[in-house]
Amino acid sequence: MEICNRELQVPFVTKDGSTIRSLLDLSNASVMNQSLAEASLPAGGEITRHYHIVSEEFYYLLEGNGVMEIDGLEREVSVGDAILIPSNTWHGIRAVEPLKFLCCCSPPYSHDDTYFV
């Protein structure tokens, strides 16, 4: 059994500009096929538009609201929204107010699988 406590995980800034706290991934568990992290953005902050060739992602909003963009389409998002981000799709999110959300990637998130314009 592997249990990783959120408070023991050190936040870091990803290649796309978000602050991430890994909850379960290759850095702290014997995870093989997915990763789970908590992301946060201050009001007005945004994740730089990017895509992943390999990873599919889910975002699940815990706090705040913002604007999600996937392949040029924008939609307002808020607490309780679950967002599917297929692999090979451009995406980004902008915080209207401070955002906190869970991010699940399969296969696990990798800086090497993050591409920009």
Q: pLDDT digit of tens for each residue in the chain (117 aa)?
A: 989 999 999 998 887 778 899 999 988 899 999 999 999 999 999 999 999 999 999 999 999 999 999 999 999 999 999 999 999 999 999 999 999 999 999 999 888 899 997
Alpha helices in 13-104 (DSSP H): none
Q: Which pTM value belongs to this model?
A: 0.91
Mind listing the domains of the chain with CATH numbers?
Answer: 11-101 (2.60.120.10)
Distances (CA, A) of 87 to 33, 61, 65, 84: 15, 20, 24, 10
Distance separating alpha carbons of residues 47 and 29, to the nearest angstrom = 26
